[in-house]
Amino acid sequence: MKKIAVMCSLLLLAGMAQAQIKGNLASAIAGAVVSTEKADKFLEAVAAADLRTVRWMLADTRKTSHLVNVKDKDGNTPLMRAIQGLNSDLSTYTRGVAAKKREDYIRIIELLGESGAYVNTTNEKGWTALCMAAQGSYPRVVSYLLARNAHVDHLCGGKKEGVTPLLVATHSKDLPEMIQLLVDAGADVNFLSPFRSYLELRSTPLMGAVDHGDVESVGILLDAGADINAETRGTVEGMTAAWIAVQNRDWFMLQYLVEHGGHLFSYLDGDVLVGIRERDYMFPGHIREYLESKGYDFNRPTRLRVFLYQGGDYVNEYSAAEMEQLYKTGKLKKK
């Protein structure tokens, strides 16, 4: 009997050591204690916002930390499943039912935390609970996770392709309160996303907020030290936050950025690297006047390096005014 006990202990320790190497120690312990049937039932109850069943199962489990840290086939913990449910489209329900489900999901998240859920566990894609919460519309959940020491600058998606929760938040929603929470927790406001992330461009949190037209979040990021003239990388290089505002024809945002020191272009050795589309040079009269009052010369030969093809060749060395005229006359068209 002693030999069997020793062997079982060694097997358990070996499994735990291997899981720790992979960052899944909690899952290994839980898997050794909680049956598959019970784990699946608990995960289903969490995903369905079945608060009564979740409470009952937690009360019926001797060591709740084992149950609350089990994982599904994708590596998602109950905490992650609850956040996924909260982020899901609840519009198919009536307003009253949807509101109740949201509150139940949030209460389940709080119960899981109180019962020993590990907030920094990663799933198979390298995302944590905070990464998922940053995609949602509930600052209350982000605040709860940060209070439990969630890693604010975890690379959601892994070291090579990951982005931070702040970058996820600014590219997902218009939620200044959530941005403020992440900034106050010490998030890197100048993080530049890697080339192969799920974002189309290598961009910063500020660019995401500008793209969403979220002036309040832009102000929060600038107050925290965000580089207003940081440049995009990847498919289109050298594009600034102000130029993103131009592409979106968000003239209020453009003026806000220029007033705070933003530049339309990033000059690199005399060249301006930007992505040109036909509408980009159709500035309204009052915006042209405003930019000219700020010293921008529409007739200055900026040697624009254009990322579109005209007859198979790059279009080069046009001033802004010349580009505008070429588009208006139809002499320059996208192929």
DSSP 32-90: HHS-HHHHHHHHHHHHTT-HHHHHHHHHT-SSHHHHTT---TTS--HHHHHHHHHHS--
Q: Which helix (H) or strand (E) holds 220?
A: helix 215-223
Domain locations in the chain as residue ranges: 20-122, 228-335
The average pLDDT across 268-272 equals 43
pLDDT in tens, 289-298: 888 888 777 6
In this prediction, residue 7 carries a pLDDT of 44
Share the mean pLDDT of the chain.
78
pLDDT in tens, 101-128: 999 999 999 999 999 999 999 999 999 9
User: Do residues 226 and 205 lie in contact, with contact meaning Cβ atoms separated by under 8 Å?
Assistant: yes
Look-up of token digits 């990021």: 221
* Phi, psi dihedrals of residue 271, rounded to the nearest 5°: -100, 150
The predicted model scores a pTM of 0.77
* pLDDT greater at residue 135 or residue 310: 135
pLDDT in tens, 185-202: 999 999 988 755 555 566
CA distance 20 to 42: 23
SS3 149: coil
Q: Counting Cβ atoms within 10 Å, is residue 242 exposed (0-12), middle (13-18) or buried (19+)?
A: buried
In this prediction, residue 316 carries a pLDDT of 47
Look-up of token digits 């907030």: 119
Confidence bin at 285 (pLDDT 50/70/90): confident
Look-up of token digits 């998240």: 109
CA distance 275 to 222: 24
In this prediction, residue 333 carries a pLDDT of 52
Proportion of the chain above pLDDT 70, given as a percent: 69
Kindly tell me if the per-residue pLDDT of 179 is higher than 80.
yes
Confidence bin at 282 (pLDDT 50/70/90): low
Residues 6+ apart with CB under 8 A from 255: 287, 290
DSSP 307: E
